[in-house]
C-alpha cells in the first residue's frame, strides 16, 4: 500500500505542539542551578569559592565533545546510505534537538528537583546529550523506514523510558555506569531493535538497491565515525567524579578504542575472500571498544584490561555485521539498517558484564581504602556494601535495562505502526525525495568501466555492468 507521506500539516503541528509544551514546562520548572545563577556572586563569597572553581570549567570541554558526537558523530555516521544523507543528518538533528529539551525535564525531575524547580547546570546538559545518544542509537535501527513524525514520537517515549530506567539503575540499584554501556547503549540498541521488529516490512527488498552506500557517502560517514572515535574518551569520562576517576576513564577508553581498530580490520579482511576491507566494518566495528568500556572506564580496569575489551569487541562486532545481521533479518525479521546490534547491542551487554566483574573484583589493594569507598560510594546507604554486592547489582541493572528496552520497544513499536504517521511505503524507503526537496542537479551517475585500472592476479574484478545506483534521488520535483 502507498501511504500518504505528505507531512504538510502533521509535521509542523507535531513540532510546534512539542516545542510549545517545552516552553511551558520550562517556564514552570526549569531554573539555573547555583553555579549558573547570578546569586552565585552572593553565594561564592559566602562559600568562599572563586569564579575559577565554577563547575563549568571542569565539565564544559567534555560537554562540547559529547555534543559533537551526538550531532556530527551520529548524524554523519548514518549518511552512508546513497540516497538518504539529508534525512540521516537532518532527522538526527531534529530528534536530538527535541530530545535534549525533553531529557532536561525528565532527568531533571528525577535528579535535579529542588523546592519545586529543576535546577540545571552544565552536568544536566551532558546528561541530556547522553540520553539523546541512546535515541540516536535506536534511530540507526529504523533508519530509512520511518517518518520524522515517527522519530519525534519515538524520541518522546524513549527519553521518558530512558530517564525511568536510569533512575532505577543509578538511584535504586545504585549501579555505576559512567559511559552508559547499559543505560545508553544496551537500552538504546534493544529498544531500537524491538521497534524495528514491530515495524517489520515484508517487501523491503523493493528498496534494497537503495539500502547501500556509494563512494562519497562512505567518506561522509567516516566523518561521523572519526568524531565518535576521537571524542569517545570525553564521552565515557564526562560525568565521572573529578580527579583520578575522570582521568582514568579517558585513558581506558583511549586504549580500548585503539585495540578495537586493529581487530576490526583483521576480522574484516579475514572474512573477505580476497582479503579486502569492508567500509561498513571500519565505520562501525572500530567504535565497539568505546561502548564496551563504558561502564568500567572509570574503574581500575587497567590499560591492558581496556585493550582486551577492545580486542574482543572489534572481532565480535565485525562478525556480527557479517553473520548476525543477515540472520536477524531473515530469521527474526529484525531489519537493522545500521547494524546497531553489533555496534551498541552486544558491546553494550559486554560492557555491562565487564563493569560488573571489574566492580566485583575491586579491592583495597588496588583502589586504596579511601579510593575504594570514594569510587563506589561505599558510605551512607551503601556503607555495608562489598565489591561483590556492587557487582551483583550491576548485573541486576543490566537485566532491568534489557527488560525495559524490550517492553518499551514493543509498546512504542505498536504506537508507531498506526497508519497515519506518514511512513514511506516499502518501495520508497531509504529515499530522501520522500521528505525533502532534492536539488535538481544531483550527482546521479552512470558507471562505466575504468579504462585505467589493471586488475592484478589477486583482484580480478567482474566487469559486469551494473544498473546505476545514484548518490541522490534523481527525481526532480515540480517547482
Q: Which of residues 441-470 bind a copy of itself (CB under 8 A)?
A: 441-459, 461-464, 466-470
- Residue matched to cell numbers 576517576: 245
402 vs 472 by CB, closer to a copy of itself: 472
C-alpha cell at 48: 568562599
Binding of residue 100 to a copy of itself (CB under 8 A): yes
Cβ 194 to a copy of itself, closest distance in Å?
26
Cβ 167 to a copy of itself, closest distance in Å?
22
Q: How far apart are the first and last CA of the chain?
A: 27
State how far the Cα of 414 lies from the Cα of 420, in Å rounded to an integer.
13
Site for a copy of itself in 310-339 (CB under 8 A): 311
- Residue matched to cell numbers 574484516: 268
Q: Are the beta carbons of 260 and 318 closer than 8 angstroms? A: no
- How many residues bind a copy of itself (CB under 8 A)? The answer is 192
Binding of residue 258 to a copy of itself (CB under 8 A): yes
- Of the candidates 369, 318, 375, 386, the residue with the CA atom closest to the CA atom of residue 347: 318
State how far the Cα of 123 lies from the Cα of 111, in Å rounded to an integer.
11
255 vs 400 by CB, closer to a copy of itself: 255
Binding of residue 64 to a copy of itself (CB under 8 A): yes
Query: Binding residue for a copy of itself (CB under 8 A) from 173, 262, 360, 406?
Result: 262
State how far the Cα of 13 lies from the Cα of 2, in Å rounded to an integer.
23
Contact code string over 399-428 relative to a copy of itself, x by CB under 8 A? -------------------------xx-xx
150 vs 286 by CB, closer to a copy of itself: 286
Site for a copy of itself in 349-378 (CB under 8 A): 366-372, 374-375
Q: Which residues, 6+ apart, have CB-to-CB distance to 264 below 8 Å?
A: 281, 282, 285, 286, 288, 314, 315, 317, 318
C-alpha cell at 266: 583483521
State how far the Cα of 148 lies from the Cα of 154, in Å rounded to an integer.
10
Site for a copy of itself in 179-208 (CB under 8 A): 206-207
Cβ 115 to a copy of itself, closest distance in Å?
16
State how far the Cα of 338 lies from the Cα of 333, in Å rounded to an integer.
15
Contact code string over 111-150 relative to a copy of itself, x by CB under 8 A? ---------xxx--x----------------------x--
Amino acid at each position: 500500500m502507498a501511504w500518504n507521506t505528505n507531512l504538510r500539516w502533521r509535521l509542523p503541528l507535531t513540532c510546534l505542539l512539542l516545542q510549545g509544551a517545552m516552553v511551558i514546562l520550562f517556564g514552570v520548572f526549569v531554573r539555573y542551578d547555583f553555579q549558573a545563577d547570578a546569586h552565585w556572586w552572593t553565594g561564592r563569597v559566602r562559600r568562599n569559592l572563586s569564579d575559577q572553581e565554577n563547575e563549568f570549567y571542569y565539565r564544559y570541554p567534555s560537554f562540547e565533545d559529547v555534543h559533537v558526537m551526538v550531532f556530527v558523530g551520529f548524524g554523519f555516521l548514518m549518511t552512508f546510505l546513497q540516497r538518504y544523507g539529508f534525512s540521516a543528518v537532518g532527522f538526527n538533528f531534529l530528534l536530538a534537538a527535541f530530545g535534549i529539551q525533553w531529557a532536561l525535564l525528565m532527568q531533571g525531575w528525577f535528579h535535579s528537583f529542588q523546592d519545586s524547580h529543576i535546577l540545571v547546570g552544565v552536568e544536566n546538559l551532558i546528561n541530556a546529550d547522553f540520553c539523546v545518544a541512546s535515541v540516536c542509537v535506536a534511530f540507526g535501527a529504523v533508519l530509512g523506514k520511518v517518518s520524522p513524525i515517527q522519530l519525534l514520537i519515538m524520541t518522546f517515549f524513549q527519553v521518558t523510558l530512558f530517564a525511568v530506567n536510569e533512575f532505577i539503575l543509578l538511584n535504586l540499584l545504585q549501579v555505576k555506569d559512567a559511559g552508559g554501556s547499559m543505560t545508553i547503549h544496551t537500552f538504546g540498541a534493544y529498544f531500537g531493535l524491538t521497534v524495528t521488529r514491530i515495524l517489520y516490512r515484508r517487501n523491503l527488498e523493493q528498496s534494497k538497491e537503495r539500502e547501500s552506500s556509494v563512494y562519497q557517502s562512505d567518506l561522509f560517514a567516516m566523518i561521523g565515525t572519526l568524531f565518535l572515535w576521537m571524542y569517545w574518551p570525553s564521552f565515557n569520562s564526562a560525568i565521572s567524579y573529578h580527579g583520578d576517576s575522570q582521568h582514568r576513564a579517558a585513558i581506558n577508553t583511549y586504549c580500548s578504542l585503539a585495540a578495537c581498530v586493529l581487530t576490526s580490520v583483521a576480522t574484516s579482511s579475514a572474512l573477505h575472500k580476497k582479503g579486502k576491507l569492508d567500509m561498513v566494518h571500519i565505520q562501525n566495528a572500530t567504535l565497539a571498544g568505546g561502548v564496551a568500556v563504558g561502564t568500567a572506564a572509570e574503574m581500575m580496569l587497567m590499560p591492558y584490561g581496556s585493550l582486551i575489551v577492545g580486542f574482543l569487541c572489534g572481532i565480535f562486532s565485525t562478525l556480527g555485521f557479517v553473520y548476525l545481521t543477515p540472520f536477524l533479518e531473515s530469521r527474526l525479521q529484525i531489519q537493522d539498517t545500521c547494524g546497531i546490534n553489533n555496534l551498541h547491542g552486544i558491546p553494550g551487554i559486554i560492557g555491562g558484564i565487564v563493569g560488573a566483574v571489574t566492580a566485583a573484583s575491586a579491592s583495597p589493594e588496588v583502589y586504596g581504602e579511601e579510593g575504594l569507598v570514594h569510587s563506589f560510594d561505599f558510605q551512607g546507604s551503601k556503607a555495608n556494601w562489598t565489591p561483590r554486592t556492587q557487582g551483583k547489582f550491576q548485573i541486576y541493572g543490566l537485566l532491568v535495562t534489557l527488560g525495559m528496552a524490550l517492553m518499551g520497544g514493543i509498546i512504542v513499536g505498536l504506537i508507531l505502526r498506526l497508519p497515519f504517521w506518514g511512513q514511506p511505503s516499502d518501495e520508497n524507503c531509504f529515499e530522501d525525495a520522500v521528505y525533502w526537496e532534492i536539488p535538481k542537479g544531483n550527482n546521479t551517475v552512470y558507471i562505466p568501466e575504468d579504462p585505467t585500472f589493471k586488475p592484478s592476479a589477486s583482484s580480478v574484478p567482474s566487469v559486469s555492468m551494473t544498473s546505476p545506483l545514484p548518490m541522490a534521488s534523481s527525481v526532480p520535483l515540480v517547482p
